[in-house]
Amino acid sequence: MSRRSARRSLYPPVKRAVDVVVAGAALVVAAPVIGAVAVAVRRDLGSPVLFRQLRPGRDGAPFELVKFRTMRILTEADGVDTDGERLTPFGRWLRSTSLDELPTLWNVLRGDMSLVGPRPLLMEYLDRYTPEQARRHEVRPGVTGLAQVRGRNALSWEEKFAADVEYVDGLGPAMDLRILLATLGTVLRRHGISAPDAATMHLFTGSDRNDAAA
C-alpha cells in the first residue's frame, strides 16, 4: 500500500471524529441563534419551520436532510411555480447568510453528512450523472465543499461535479482545512448564492456523455 493510500484509509475515522466534536459543539454554541431563526421562520413562513427532504448520501443511500425553510409552500390559489416567486425577502436573507444551513449540523452529528464534502443534491439526479460525476458519492456529502468555495451556484453543473470528484481524489486533512477556512470568506462575501438568471440553481438535466468525458 502506498503512503498516500495509507493516509486515505486512516483519515476517514479521524474526519468522522472531528465532525462529531465540531458539529456537537457548534449546535450548543449556536443554540440561541438557531432558536431565534426558528422563531423568525415561524413568523415569516408559518409551519413547518424546518425543510425536510430525502437526499442521496454516501454511495447514494438516502437520508433526510433538514434545513430552515426559506420558501412558501405552494397552494393552488398562489399561482406561482418558481423558486424566485416562492422565496420571501427573509428567506433570501437566510440563504445569503447561510443561516438556513444551521440545522444541517444535526445531519453531520447523525453521520448522514460531513462538515466538508460534495453537497447533497436531489435523489432524481442519481441516474443523470456520468460514471465520473457519480464518484461524488464515494464520500459523505458535506455542509460545504470545494465547489462551494470556488463559486457555489455561479459555477456550471459540470464545474461543480469536477470539483466534487477532485475533492474525492484529494481527500485529506489539508484539503478539508483549506475548504473550511475558505468557506468563512465565501459566506461573508455572499458570493455565488444564485445561478445567473435563477433564484437558486437551474435543475440538472444531465450532461452530454461525450462532452463530460472530454
User: Please, which pLDDT band fits residue 88 given cuts at 50, 70 and 90?
Assistant: confident
Domain count, the chain: 1
CA dihedral 62, 67, 69, 70 (to 10 degrees): -110
- The predicted-structure confidence for 100-153, as pLDDT tens digits, reads as follows 999 999 999 999 999 999 999 999 999 999 999 999 999 999 999 999 999 888
Inside any domain, residue 204: yes
- The whole-number average pLDDT for the span 60-64 is 97
Inside any domain, residue 8: no
pLDDT > 70? residue 3: no
Domain that holds residue 169: 13-213
User: Please, which pLDDT band fits residue 196 given cuts at 50, 70 and 90?
Assistant: low
Q: Which three cell numbers stand for residue 104?
A: 444541517
Inside any domain, residue 5: no
Inside any domain, residue 125: yes
User: With contact defined as beta carbons under 8 Å apart, do 137 and 61 qualify?
Assistant: no
* Structure confidence at residue 130 (pLDDT): 96
Inside any domain, residue 7: no
pTM score, whole prediction: 0.86
Residue 141: asked if its preceding bond is cis (omega within 30°), the reply is no
- The whole-number average pLDDT for the span 78-91 is 73
Amino acid letter at 57? G
pLDDT > 50? residue 211: no
Inside any domain, residue 2: no
Dihedral sign, Cα of residue 136, residue 198, residue 182, residue 162:
positive
Inside any domain, residue 35: yes
User: Please, which pLDDT band fits residue 185 given cuts at 50, 70 and 90?
Assistant: confident
* Structure confidence at residue 9 (pLDDT): 72
pLDDT > 80? residue 212: no
How far is the C-alpha of 59 from the C-alpha of 182, rounded, in Å?
27
Nearest to 70 by CA among 59, 48, 61: 48
Strands (E), the chain: 50-56, 62-68, 114-116, 142-144
User: With contact defined as beta carbons under 8 Å apart, do 198 and 83 qualify?
Assistant: yes
More confident residue, 152 or 157: 157
Distances (CA, A) of 119 to 71, 85, 132, 160, 168: 20, 24, 16, 10, 12
Inside any domain, residue 141: yes
* Structure confidence at residue 214 (pLDDT): 34
User: Please, which pLDDT band fits residue 213 given cuts at 50, 70 and 90?
Assistant: very low
How far is the C-alpha of 14 from the C-alpha of 6, rounded, in Å?
13
114 bridge partner residues: 142
* Structure confidence at residue 83 (pLDDT): 66
